[in-house]
Amino acid sequence: MSITGYRLRVTEGEFKGLWLSRIDLHSKSGMPYRIVPDWQEVANHPERYRITPKFGRETAAWLGLNKEAAQRFRKIVSSAGIQTEIVAP
């Protein structure tokens, strides 16, 4: 398998070494988002959302993120208190 884009790997804590595979997003009142959110809006105002990143093995990692998207998702995950690093293709 060849890697075609940037990915995020957790650098510390209980998820260290695991890869970002998904982000569950809910309103503060607990309602799940059923449409694709404006991720830039989420990155700019994470306090408006309940953000739950999910992690897995490297084979489950989100693939194909461009550098800008990887930076945006890193900021979102960081707002949930989880530190990651961007891994280049």
Band (4; pLDDT cuts 50, 70, 90): low
- How many structural domains is the chain composed of? 1
Residue 57 lies in a domain: yes
Residue 82 lies in a domain: yes
pLDDT of 27-65, one tens digit each? 988 888 878 789 999 999 999 999 999 999 998 888 889
Residue 1 lies in a domain: no
How long, in residues, is the chain? 89
Q: Which amino acid is at 77?
A: V
Q: So what's the pLDDT on residue 25? A: 93
Band (1; pLDDT cuts 50, 70, 90): very low
Q: What does pTM read for this prediction?
A: 0.88
Say how far apart CA 49 and CA 38 lie, in whole Å.
12
Residue 44 lies in a domain: yes
The distance from CA 50 to its chain's CA centroid, rounded to whole angstroms, is 13
Q: Could you list the residue range(s) of the whole structural domain that residue 12 is in?
A: 7-87
Please provide the average confidence, as pLDDT, over all residues in the chain: 91
Residue 76 lies in a domain: yes
Residue 2 lies in a domain: no
